[in-house]
Structure 1
Amino acid sequence: MSFADLGPYLFIVVAGWLATDIWRWAGVLVGNRIDETSEVLNWVRAVATALVAAVIAKMIFFPTGALETSPLWLRLAAVVFGALAFFVGGRFRQIAGIAAAIAFLAAGLAIIGP
């Protein structure tokens, strides 16, 4: 593989880095001036939470790929199980919730089959 063959990949890496890194630096510069209890930051948190909830809902009710083979009741049960693990997870809440939901879904698919 020659350097000319790597050109498009190098462009993608550099362009992707520049596109995201600019916003990261802007966030650092502006973020230092925002009060943690301000209404602006509360709004940003609400929008971020809504986006995550929307993506999760889309994955549950309109799945694609391998998740599409699982029944709706199993996906909903995995979310409930993951939420319970999150609330009792202690220090590792996020990891516990995600791992528990994935394990529940995998076990359910292994039991009922594809």
Structure 2
Amino acid sequence: MNGQLSEFGAILIVILVGFLPNEVWRVLGVALGRGLDDDSLLMRWIRAVATALLAAVVAHLVLVPSGALVALPLWLRLAAVGSGIAGFLVGRRSVLAGVLTAEVVLVAGAWWLGVGA
């Protein structure tokens, strides 16, 4: 019984500390964003900042990797990014196609190099 209580407590902490604070901002964003014009200067700036943040995260993952990516050489990580961009464009700007293409290149490259075996 004590194990079940500690598991329930852990789940409750994750919900209270991890999920709810983020969900408040999402709901607030939806409520406030309903009347905004998609082509307004503010929305273009927000899109530019979001794109720059995403590019920075990808660059950090490629150039200063952590975890399992450390074992992969830089050329393979760069090839995965390039193939992901190509997959995105070939897949008619599909983010899923880009991510899957990059993932296939990373996994195939790791297998070919014998990394993680």
Q: How does 1:11-26 map to 2 (within 5 A)?
A: 11-26=13-28
* 2:48 is aligned with 1:46: yes
- Between the aligned partners of 1:110 and 1:11, the Cα distance in structure 2 is 39
- Between the aligned partners of 1:8 and 1:79, the Cα distance in structure 2 is 37
User: Partner of 1:109 in structure 2?
Assistant: 110
**Could you list the runs of 5+ residues in structure 2 that have no partner in the other structure?**
none
RMSD (CA atoms): 1.6
Q: CA deviation at 1:110?
A: 1.1
**Could you list the runs of 5+ residues in structure 1 that have no partner in the other structure?**
none
Q: How does 1:20-35 map to 2 (within 5 A)?
A: 20-35=22-37
Identity rate, percent: 43
- Aligned AA (1:96): A
**What number of residue pairs does the alignment pair up?**
113
User: Partner of 2:96 in structure 1?
Assistant: 95
SS at match of 1:90: coil
Q: Which runs of 4+ in 1 moved over 6 A?
A: none
